[in-house]
């Protein structure tokens, strides 16, 4: 992947949009709508409660198909009220209209960091953040990162990666809107990137 990211890539925004539109169509043709049922159920619960509980995190963990880690036991031994206090702060940050989307994403990611399983990596935290603000945020994973490289957008590792990821997703979303591509949300962009990176 690093070699791919370091190669020159003379893709224009118009060409990038074409690739993203094709990839999203490919994803939608291959993946049944029912796959996202756990995500939609969690989104509905977060809309009502303004936070995520341990059962919500467990559902997103299953949906994201993340390898099991030792953090699960630590999360289960935390009081539900404490988990909800932490996730409520993340939900509030993700939805903050006072912040540009990448800044809101970064604030939500920071808010989640006290939870077990959320200190490193962005895949599961980004799923929680998407559930908090589904019309605004996107899910990060390695496949989406590879998809970015395929459309000539490089994402570096290190602290603040989810914010940088959201900056690139927003760039794609704005370019797509400018092309009249019919893709409206960051989530649609991340699905296309995921498909491109497969």
Q: Are 84 and 113 in contact (CB under 8 A)?
A: no
Residue 21: the pLDDT is 97
Q: What is the mean pLDDT of residues 21-41?
A: 96
Q: Given a cut of 90, is residue 117 above it in pLDDT?
A: no
User: pTM surpassing 0.85?
Assistant: yes
Q: How many CB atoms lie within 10 A of CB 160?
A: 14
pLDDT band at 40 (very low <50, low <70, confident <90, very high): very high
Verify that 16 and 56 share a domain, yes or no: no
Q: Given a cut of 60, is residue 51 above it in pLDDT?
A: yes
Verify that 74 and 126 share a domain, yes or no: yes
Lowest-confidence pick of 100-104, 153-157, 167-171? 153-157
CA dist 196 and 189 (Å) reads 11
pLDDT band at 8 (very low <50, low <70, confident <90, very high): low
Residue 1: the pLDDT is 45
Triad 156, 56, 32: Cα angle to 5°: 75
Verify that 105 and 23 share a domain, yes or no: no
Verify that 98 and 166 share a domain, yes or no: no
Q: What is the mean pLDDT of residues 68-79?
A: 88
Verify that 25 and 113 share a domain, yes or no: no
Verify that 7 and 76 share a domain, yes or no: no
Verify that 100 and 52 share a domain, yes or no: yes
Verify that 126 and 40 share a domain, yes or no: yes
pLDDT tens for 128-143 read 999 999 999 999 999 9
CA dist 56 and 53 (Å) reads 5
Verify that 17 and 39 share a domain, yes or no: no
CA dist 112 and 145 (Å) reads 21
pLDDT band at 6 (very low <50, low <70, confident <90, very high): low
CA dist 36 and 60 (Å) reads 10
pLDDT band at 11 (very low <50, low <70, confident <90, very high): confident
Consecutive H or E run containing 62: helix 54-64
Structural domain count of the chain: 2
Task: Domain of residue 185: give its range.
Answer: 2-31+139-196
- Classify the C-alpha dihedral 105-106-110-115 as positive or negative: positive
CA dist 21 and 145 (Å) reads 17
């Amino acid at each position: 992947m690093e070699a791919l990211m370091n190669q020159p890539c003379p893709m224009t925004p118009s060409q990038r949009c074409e690739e993203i539109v094709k990839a999203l169509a490919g994803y939608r043709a291959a993946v049944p709508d029912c796959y996202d049922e756990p995500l939609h159920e969690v989104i509905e619960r977060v809309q009502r409660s303004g936070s995520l509980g341990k059962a919500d995190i467990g559902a997103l963990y299953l949906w994201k198909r993340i390898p099991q880690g030792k953090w699960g036991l630590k999360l289960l031994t935390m009081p539900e009220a404490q988990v909800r206090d932490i996730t409520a702060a993340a939900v509030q940050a993700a939805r903050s209209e006072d912040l540009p989307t990448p800044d809101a994403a970064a604030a939500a990611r920071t808010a989640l960091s006290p939870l077990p399983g959320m200190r490193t990596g962005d895949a599961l935290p980004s799923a929680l953040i998407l559930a908090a603000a589904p019309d605004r945020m996107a899910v990060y994973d390695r496949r989406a990162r590879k998809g970015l490289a395929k459309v000539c957008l490089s994402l570096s590792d290190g602290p603040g990666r989810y914010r940088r990821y959201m900056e690139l997703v927003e760039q794609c979303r704005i370019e797509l809107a400018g092309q009249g591509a019919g893709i409206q949300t960051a989530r649609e962009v991340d699905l296309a990137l995921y498909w491109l990176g497969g």
